Structure 1
Amino acid sequence: MATRVSYPVELKMKAIEMRLAEVPVKEVMEKLGIRNESQLKTWMRWYRKGEVHRLEQPVGKQYSYGKGPGHSTELEKVKAENRFLKQQLELPKKVQGIGTEVEAEVVIAWIESIREEVTISEACTWLGIARATYYRWKAAVEMKRPDPTVEKVIQLCTQHKFRYGYRKITALLRSEGPINHKRVQRIMQCEGLQCRVRIKKRKTTGQPAQPAEHLLKRKFHAEAPLQKLVTDITYLPFGNKMLYLSSILDLYNGEIVAYSIADKQDTCLVLDTLNQLPERSNMLLHSDQGSVYTSQNYQAVVKGKGIIMSMSRKGTPADNAPIESFHSTLKSETFYLEDLMSTTTAIVEQTVRNYITYYNSIRIQTKLNNQSPMDFRRLAT
């Protein structure tokens, strides 16, 4: 372990004088026998800050900031008191408002101007305020000052006509100095400076309304025809353009009682399907919470027909499993089986119509005692 060296005050002052005379550091260290270059730099820092009293501190002891070892003689004590009284007399000339109410901005400006001469604690003592009060005032004043970064971000966004997002604005700012991209993003959000190019557009298919309750509750068995119905829309991406199939299935025998094909998935598609149902009260019609089913137009027509509306829970396709299963079966037994993955629009429509006719009148189902839906309905009635 290295031995710590204690240098006398006279040697320290001599080293400071030599450095002030621009004598090289190495030469000062050689002539005065100073081992560590950092020690010499510390003495010079204390001298420039007016902390000459710290040159007298013993090795290993640090005086409180702004306080020395105490006054060793009465002469030093008298000098310190005279200095304090002189500052007290000159203070009212520098800071207006002493004796009535001190203004925070003036106090902060004055203390900053004498930082090289006295410590903050001494300045606060002369003013008669607590050191914590000074720092509280300083923080409040700095918050009121305009942030140059905010002004620069506003300038850049305006200059580029809001074509840039926060990443490009950050890149421009970093050419002048380091800055965090999160701060730039936060400033742009608070000031409403986001990029205005390619704003996300959402297609509205109707006025939204409140979704209906889940009344079906996965009870897919019906006691009579047209008692419980389920409906949904599926994609038909097999022709020259995208087609959509809207169908309604009767849970009594699994029969497709209504369907429509169109090239737009809008309210007109589901209304056309709905209007194919016969007039009958107390029918339960279940669907998901798609925008076409929650639209005001659709719900008004459903209520006008005396139909009870039910909707699946959000993000739960299993609540509408029968119609989902039918659409899957339709595609599997036609387009996928016959490899009709790329054909004409007319063939797609004709394939769907032929399959629904086959499904209702010919295709037998095990749950229907190996009968087709239409045969099951006729024999039951």
Structure 2
Amino acid sequence: MSNKIFTQDEIEILSSNKYVKHVSVKGITYTDEFKRLFIAENEKGKFPTVIFKECGFDLDILGLDRVRSCGKRWRATYREDGILGLQDTRIENSGRPREKDLTLEEKYEHLMAQNKLLKAENELLKKPRYVRKEDGKEEVRLVAEQKFQLIRAIVIKNKLKNMISYLCKISKVSRSGYYNYFSLKSQKTREKRDVKDESVRDIILKAFNFKRRKKGARQIKMTLQGQFGIIYNLKRIRRIMKKYDIVCPIRKSNPYRRMMKATQEHTVLPNLLNRQFKQNIPGKVLLTDITYLFYGNGRKAYLSTVKDGSTNEILAYHLSDRLTLDIATDTVHKLANNRQVGLAKDAFIHSDQGSHYTSPVFQALVKSYNLYQSMSRRGNCWDNAPQESFFGHFKDEAYIKPCQSLCELEQEIDEYMTYYNNYRYQWGLNKMTPVQYRDHLLKTA
């Protein structure tokens, strides 16, 4: 017998064949007529696969193992017992009574029970659980645990003990699963698991709120391992977060447009980087950009940063309340004067085609520090994706809006940059912080 499991679509296709009596997830029952036809055609020299195909069966659905095993079994039965041995006598010999037609009273009781179940299910769906489908979309669906509780409530409320099997059937859950869920052993197991999950939840919350920066599951896993020496499976962390509604900040796209494009008198330089961000050489690929920050009561500031493409470390940054050329040039000055930053040979700074970076003043400054310059293609944010990604994470995790003054905002940014470089573990950096990964690359160079 084949171990192939039929899908719902395959069951429907097989059921439409006139030679099929019944199809389940694991098995298929053929008609006696087909068995006789198979023996007759096989005696003429036809192969089993040919006979099945001529009778309208899809061999890709059935599988060759199932076809061969059926042919072998039917031939052996025919040799031993003849045509009568091919007849399906399981119903007659099972000892079970045949299904009887329901009376009007029984049909009425079933309809009433189904109606009560649907009403209770609609009430439960007011607090739905979302399940992600294969195409990435989400739909409202009751899980088995909720259905068991729902059936139990209906049975107790309406005194429908004799309807448990029927309610399980229309709810598409197993009757044995229902009884097992409410068994004393299962309840004790769930209680023990809940106690254990609560202790794990408390540990996860410590990592979730570490350094006052909320994190997602992967950040929590790396923080637990790096700061607390605790190793949890990523699936376990996600399960606990889902169970106790621990939600990480939602990444939102930046709603603001890019800065004005370079004027004709400015110079646009070629793209030397070509998206080769990870060159495993600290201080070689320098990514820069400027972003808007809204804080306080509608106040606006601007942040310019320089990020190491290989280590993701923020090497220099400058905050200003004005979007002048100084915000870009001051950032480069800070980069050059940072003694902790060691620039590699042939290092270059990569940016978009904003007016600050196409400016002759900025380009002359970059050359004076013996740096090359590269630019993204026009209107292509992917050419500077790591820098854009940093701004997204920064705006999600830093407490920008509560700041009431530029001084408070600058202090918050200083704290965040220290956290980001030294304490924020990253999955793509072998679960290290940017500073740890920089030291790792220098040691292995």
**What TM-score comes out, normalization by structure 1 length?**
0.43
**What TM-score comes out, normalization by structure 2 length?**
0.37
Structure index of larger Rg: 1
